[in-house]
Amino acid sequence: MQKFKFKLESVLKMKTLLEEQCRNELGKIIVEKKKIEDEIERNHRHIDASYAERESHLKQGQSAAHASFYPELAEGYRARIEDLKKSAQEVEKRIAAKKAELNEKRAELKLMSNLKEKELTQWKKAYNKHVDQTVEEMVMMWDESKLQEEEL
């Protein structure tokens, strides 16, 4: 009997590659979101640092014109943070969409794997039946040859 060969093996491999590619894309999107979150945190630290710098300069006798620059700087950082938060929301939507796509690809891959397992089980049953039948024929031939020897 022939060795087991899954007829849709190439399709299974393709689905595996597509699922892996989707996982990689999801990872890239998550990294992008993490970069945005890090930049938001960095901007918050810049705001805190600018206010601390302003306080230290005011204690040293800084001019009012120079001191008025700090609120505008902080406002610029806040505007950037708002833009980054909007970007983070968009990236979060992309992550959700990619997760849904990944779940779909995993379901397709699982379906193909189950189909392969089912065919393998059927092949094993057929193979075992073939082996049992061959063994039975050999035993019958042996019994017949033993009977012929006894008759002689």
Q: What pLDDT, in 10s, does the model give residues 99-112?
A: 999 999 999 999 99
For 57-97, how does the pLDDT look when each residue is reduced to its tens digit (9 = 90+)? 777 776 666 767 778 888 999 999 999 999 999 999 999 99
pLDDT in tens, 15-36: 999 999 999 999 999 999 999 9
Contact criterion met (CB below 8 Å) for 48 and 78? no
pLDDT tens by residue, 47-59: 988 888 877 777 7
User: What predicted TM-score, i.e. pTM, was given to this entire model?
Assistant: 0.74
pLDDT at 26: 97
Contacts for 16 with CB less than 8 Å, ≥ 6 apart: 109
For the segment 121-149, the average pLDDT, to the nearest whole number, is: 88
68: amino acid identity, one letter: S
Our CA angle for 69, 83, 86, nearest 5°, is 155
Percent of the chain clearing pLDDT 90 (strictly above): 66
Confidence of residue 132 (pLDDT cuts 50, 70, 90): very high
CB 92 within 8 A of CB 32: no
Choose among 1, 12, 3, 4: nearest CA to 115.
12
Task: Report the SS3 class of residue 91.
Answer: helix
